[in-house]
């Protein structure tokens, strides 16, 4: 093969590679599988819905601290700020419980294992629209 052609082919391959990396991730392609969502839904219903709502809608006036200074359960359906937290941090919160002073959320480390905690996250992230999910990715969710 002639050298110029080989060089041109090489440049093309590198250019396609760079272009590919620069493409934003498609938010309709989620980190989790449909199986994880299916596994997470009943766990969410058993352990989380009582406080965060059956559709993850959160408690009333969740943005305002209560009389004792603690916060009501935030929405997990994408309307709150759960999308400001990375996957690692969401998983930690579920394992260890609430982070604000006086937080009433218990830790679930002894109740659900890591795989189940990730399935629960998949179940509530599946309620997030693509725009919220894309924002989460941009903030370094993964
Ligand atoms: C007893 C009520 C209660 C239960 C049960 C509960 N939570 Fe919470 N959760 C809260 C409260 C209250 C907060 C706010 C805590 C704080 O201020 O630090 C919270 C905060 C969170 C946050 C942080 C949200 C944010 O926007 O910062 C996540 C994530 C979360 N909960 C997930 C879960 C999941 C998943 C479950 C089920 C495994 C669960 N919670 C069960 C009450 C609860």
Tokens of 117: 């905690």
Return the pLDDT at 84: 96
The count of residues in the chain is 142
Range of the domain at 90: 27-138
Parts of the chain with a pLDDT under 70: 1, 10, 12-24
Residue 18 domain-assigned? no
Return the pLDDT at 7: 75
Residue 73 domain-assigned? yes
Residue 80 domain-assigned? yes
Residue 89 domain-assigned? yes
How far is ligand 1, taken at its centre, from the CA of residue 106, in Å? 8
> What count of Cα atoms within 13 Å lies in the side-chain half-sphere of residue 135?
14
Q: How many domains does the chain have?
A: 1
Residue 4 domain-assigned? no
Pocket perturbation via mutation, ligand 1, pick of 49, 51, 75 by most ligand atoms within 8 A of CB:
51
Cα gap 5→31, rounded to integer Å: 40
Q: Does residue 125 have its Cβ closer than 6 Å to ligand 1? A: no
Residue 7 domain-assigned? no
The residue to which tokens 């938010």 are assigned: 27
Residue 13 domain-assigned? no
pLDDT digits (tens, 9 = 90+) for 83-116: 999 999 999 999 999 988 888 999 999 999 999 9
């Amino acid at each position: 093969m002639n050298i110029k052609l080989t060089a041109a082919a090489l440049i093309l391959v590198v250019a396609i590679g760079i272009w590919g990396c620069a493409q934003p991730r498609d938010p309709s392609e989620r980190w989790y599988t449909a199986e994880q969502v299916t596994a997470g839904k009943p766990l969410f219903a058993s352990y989380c819905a009582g406080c965060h709502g059956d559709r993850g809608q959160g408690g009333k006036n969740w943005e305002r601290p209560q009389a004792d200074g603690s916060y009501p359960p935030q929405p997990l359906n994408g309307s709150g700020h759960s999308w400001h937290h990375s996957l690692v941090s969401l998983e930690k919160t579920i394992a260890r419980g609430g982070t604000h002073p006086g937080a009433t959320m218990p830790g679930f480390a002894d109740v659900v294992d890591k795989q189940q905690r990730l399935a629960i996250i998949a179940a509530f992230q599946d309620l997030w629209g693509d725009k919220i999910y894309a924002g989460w990715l941009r903030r370094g969710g993964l």
